[in-house]
């Protein structure tokens, strides 16, 4: 089988398409014939800067995939064969609080990822694809969609008529926009790209702000929202946006900090109060991925389609997208 692997610290140029033996599932494992693998910003960062992340070469990147179960190991019911599934970001996080053993099961980070024709996953680390979803669409759900769902629904569920601030137009924000829209909440979205803001407007964003045109975007948000600000914020930015959010005391804060966030910075020390919440929100458990599955099926029954566009959702360089968009 073929497997894309990082073979050095030279970034995208260090991606190599290698021939590997087809792995044999062990106890509690399933073999997945990978049909699609989506690209998160985290995946790009792992490829471009692997050494600080402790990557040992060769290493297959990417956390998210969808495919079909084609073999099972001992302890797995053979009725699983033929099922169309997607992997869970954390292979060992079924429920409860995050801990070191959970962190050690992150695909494409602590353990090898899924950018290969066939991959081994834990039987407890897969979820069936929702009805009506293609492999490509399903492959975008495990990381970004589950994070957005957990942020807006599982911690403190948004309600119809509430206002939500979305920072940026990456995968988490794109899914959060659609979930908020379906639940009757209105959104304000900030970005530096007018083109992406226009796309978010088509997805239902009530207001958009280009933060390059409005450096004091936080004040603009207050002006647009009225009544003391927005009800919820999905934070994906880091120290700069955290400071602005705290200064205005917005009502409900749903952090999802990207991996460029430096815990040693003074901004982090001032924001220590949110670190536990960040850990809880960061992707979350298989239980919440199952919630996504159930609700996507309900959405499909009402003929509402989530919007999927790899070029828009995943913020990656063009050359990487061309290289790994199809396994």
Q: State yes or no: pLDDT of 10 exceeds 70.
A: yes
Q: State yes or no: pLDDT of 124 exceeds 50.
A: yes
**Angstrom distance (rounded) from CA 37 to CA 257:** 23
User: Is residue 294 in some structural domain?
Assistant: no
**Angstrom distance (rounded) from CA 206 to CA 164:** 10
Shared-domain flag, residues 50 and 105: yes
**Angstrom distance (rounded) from CA 127 to CA 85:** 5
pLDDT at 132 (0 to 100) = 82
Mean pLDDT of 65-91: 95
Shared-domain flag, residues 93 and 160: no
**Angstrom distance (rounded) from CA 237 to CA 192:** 12
Shared-domain flag, residues 42 and 86: yes
Q: What are phi and psi of 117, to 5 degrees?
A: -70, -30
**Angstrom distance (rounded) from CA 129 to CA 66:** 8
Q: Using a CB cutoff of 8 Å and minimum separation of 24, what contacts does 97-104 make? A: 97/280, 98/279, 98/280, 98/282
Shared-domain flag, residues 126 and 216: no
Shared-domain flag, residues 71 and 125: yes
User: Is residue 164 in some structural domain?
Assistant: yes
Q: State yes or no: pLDDT of 117 exceeds 90.
A: yes
How many residues appear in the chain?
Answer: 327
Pick the more confident residue, 5 or 258.
5
Q: 28: burial class by Cβ within 10 Å (0-12, 13-18, 19+)?
A: middle
Pick the more confident residue, 310 or 121.
121
CB 135 within 8 A of CB 64: no
Note the pLDDT tens digit of each residue in 102-111. 889 999 999 9
Q: State yes or no: pLDDT of 270 exceeds 70.
A: no
- 142-153 b/e (C-beta count within 10 Å ≥ 16 → b): bbbbbbbbbbbb
User: Is residue 46 in some structural domain?
Assistant: yes
Shared-domain flag, residues 209 and 261: yes
User: Is residue 117 in some structural domain?
Assistant: yes
| Cβ-proximal residues to 209 (8 Å cutoff; 6+ apart), any chain | 188, 189, 190, 191, 197, 217, 220, 221, 224
pLDDT at 243 (0 to 100) = 62
Shared-domain flag, residues 188 and 265: yes
- Around Cβ 90, how many Cβ atoms within 10 Å? 29
CB 86 within 8 A of CB 64: yes
The CATH number given to whatever domain includes residue 201 is: 3.40.50.720
The CATH number given to whatever domain includes residue 133 is: 3.90.180.10
Shared-domain flag, residues 227 and 260: yes
Rg over CA atoms, the chain: 20
**Angstrom distance (rounded) from CA 13 to CA 327:** 17
Shared-domain flag, residues 156 and 52: no
Shared-domain flag, residues 189 and 266: yes
Averaged confidence pLDDT in the chain: 80
User: Is residue 304 in some structural domain?
Assistant: no
Shared-domain flag, residues 80 and 150: no
**What pTM, to 2 d.p., does this model score?**
0.80
Shared-domain flag, residues 110 and 224: no
Grade residue 130 by pLDDT with cuts at 50, 70 and 90. Answer: confident
pLDDT at 278 (0 to 100) = 41
**Angstrom distance (rounded) from CA 16 to CA 318:** 17
User: Is residue 70 in some structural domain?
Assistant: yes
Query: Which segment, 6-20, 256-270, 311-325, is predicted with the most confidence on average?
Result: 6-20
Structure tokens at 80: 């699983």
Q: Domain of 38?
A: 2-140+310-324
**Angstrom distance (rounded) from CA 7 to CA 59:** 7
User: Is residue 265 in some structural domain?
Assistant: yes
Q: How far is CA 54 from CA 252, 290, 299, in A?
A: 34, 30, 40
Total domains present in the chain: 2
Mean pLDDT of 199-214: 96
User: Is residue 287 in some structural domain?
Assistant: no
């Amino acid at each position: 089988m073929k497997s894309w692997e990082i073979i050095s610290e030279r970034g995208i140029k260090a991606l190599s398409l290698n021939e590997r033996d087809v792995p044999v599932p062990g106890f509690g494992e399933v073999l997945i014939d990978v049909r699609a693998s989506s690209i998160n910003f985290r995946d790009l960062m792992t490829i471009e800067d692997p050494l600080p992340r402790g990557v040992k070469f060769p290493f297959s990147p990417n956390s998210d995939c969808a495919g079909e179960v084609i073999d099972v190991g001992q302890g797995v019911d053979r009725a699983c064969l033929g099922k169309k599934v997607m992997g869970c970001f954390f292979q060992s996080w079924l429920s409860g609080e995050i801990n070191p053993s959970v962190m050690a099961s992150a695909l494409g980070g602590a353990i090898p990822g899924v950018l290969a024709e066939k991959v081994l996953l834990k039987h407890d680390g897969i979820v069936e694809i929702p009805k009506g979803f293609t492999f490509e669409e399903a492959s975008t759900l495990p990381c970004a969609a589950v994070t957005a769902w957990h942020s807006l629904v599982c911690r403190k569920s948004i309600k119809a008529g509430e206002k939500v601030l979305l920072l940026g137009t990456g995968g988490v924000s794109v899914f959060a926009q659609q979930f908020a829209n379906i639940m009757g909440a209105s959104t304000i979205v900030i970005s530096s790209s007018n083109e992406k803001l226009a796309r978010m407007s088509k997805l239902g964003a009530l207001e958009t702000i280009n933060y390059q045109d409005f450096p004091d975007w936080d004040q603009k948000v207050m002006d647009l929202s009225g009544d003391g600000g927005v009800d919820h914020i999905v934070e994906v930015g880091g120290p700069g946006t955290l400071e602005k959010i705290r200064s205005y005391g917005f009502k409900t804060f749903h952090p999802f900090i990207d991996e460029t966030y430096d815990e040693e910075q003074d901004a982090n020390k001032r924001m220590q109060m949110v670190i536990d919440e960040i850990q809880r929100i960061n992707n979350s458990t298989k239980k919440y991925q199952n919630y996504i599955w159930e609700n996507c099926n309900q959405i499909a029954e009402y003929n509402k389609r989530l919007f999927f566009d790899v070029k828009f959702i995943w913020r990656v360089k063009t050359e990487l997208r061309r290289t790994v968009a199809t396994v």
